[in-house]
Amino acid sequence: MSANRVLVVDDDTKTVDLVKLYLNRDGYRVFTAQNGIEALRLARESHPDLIVLDLMLPGIDGLEICRRLRNESDVPIIMLTARTTDEDKLTGLDMGTDDYVTKPFSPKELAARVRTVLRRLPGERGPNEIRHGDIVVNFPRREVSLAGRPLHLTTIEFKLLATMAKEPGRIFSRAQLVEKALGYDFEGNDRTIDVHILNLRRNLEPDPKRPKYIKTVYGDGYKLAEIANDT
């Protein structure tokens, strides 16, 4: 099996060299860029399996790069930035990032995050598509449909639904949904998950006040109801 390709983007040479050193030790083939224009070119030409992307870049910033790439690709992106507020984290996740690492950071931890995100790739863990009753979740395209009707979900809503769809009937606590679906160190109130579940229900449920699919298990968390697929 060929080595995974990782694109590291940061305008600080020392950071790039340090991250490259640790990822090379793990056997990854590493490409590097130090500005937004070069990052987009390499992302399109080298087809990386994952991108470590700094938020503050000359030319084109990390959020704009993420926005453009999400129109072309579902390549996993780990955002690397000095911004630490929950609002910044949620903005990055809504743009389509898969994880969020704040500076200063441990290169060993970042390497572990890279391994974790790559293990979550659909082609390596589970099918490309899951059908659950009338719900169809397509992982490579990050698309969801209900009874043939496309649903327009945010990235966070998609990740929450996709996580539960892989294990229907399993009860996920809020902390487990943060860890498994969002993949970053959440420092805010767990009730943020409740807000995203509420918005997801508005898109998914025929009657959000009487949810058919996403059930609340009081005191424990949420689960996707077990529904038999049509045969």
Domain boundary among 119, 138, 164: 119
161/110 same-domain check: no
The domain that contains 183 carries what CATH number? 1.10.10.10
Statement to judge: residues 32 and 75 lie in one domain: yes
What CATH code is carried by the domain that includes residue 92? 3.40.50.2300
Token pair 């809020």: residue = 174
User: What pLDDT shows up at residue 51?
Assistant: 95
Task: Tell which of 96, 119, 142 closes a domain.
Answer: 119
Torsion of CA 99, 100, 106, 107, to 10 degrees: 50
Query: What is the rounded CA–CA span in Å between residue 63 and residue 150?
Result: 26
Report yes or no on 231 lying in a domain.
no
139 and 89 together in one domain: no
Q: Which residues contact 120 (CB under 8 A, 6 or more apart)?
A: 76, 98, 183
Q: Are residues 145 and 208 in the same domain?
A: yes
Does the pTM of the predicted model rise above 0.75? no
Domain boundary among 98, 119, 140: 119
> What is the mean pLDDT, run by run of 10 residues, along the chain of 231 residues?
81 93 90 93 90 90 87 84 66 74 87 84 60 85 88 86 88 83 57 88 91 91 77 38
What range defines the domain where residue 151 resides? 129-224
Q: Before 206, cis peptide (omega within 30)?
A: no
Closest listed residue to residue 133, CA positions, set 223, 227, 207, 231: 227
Does a structural domain hold residue 230? no
Q: CA–CA separation, 7 vs 158, rounded Å?
A: 25
Return the SS3 of 15: helix
Q: What is the DSSP letter of 137?
A: E
Do 92 and 154 sit in the same domain of this protein?
A: no
Say whether both 110 and 167 belong to one domain.
Answer: no
Q: Which two tokens stand for residue 49?
A: 């399996």
- Confirm whether 124 is domain-assigned: no
DSSP state of 11: S
Q: Measure CA 136 to chain center.
A: 18
Q: Looking at the 3D structure of the chain, how many domains does it have?
A: 2
Cβ–Cβ contacts within 10 Å for residue 153, how many?
Answer: 21
Q: Which residues pair with 48 in a beta bridge?
A: none
Residues 90 and 114 grouped into a single domain:
yes
In 10 A of CB 28, how many CB atoms? 22
Same domain, 134 and 94: no
Which DSSP string corresponds to 179-215? IIII-B---S-THHHHHHHHHHHHHH-SSTTS-SSEE
Same domain, 17 and 107: yes
Count of Cβ atoms closer than 10 Å to residue 37 Cβ: 13
Gyration radius of the chain over CA positions: 18
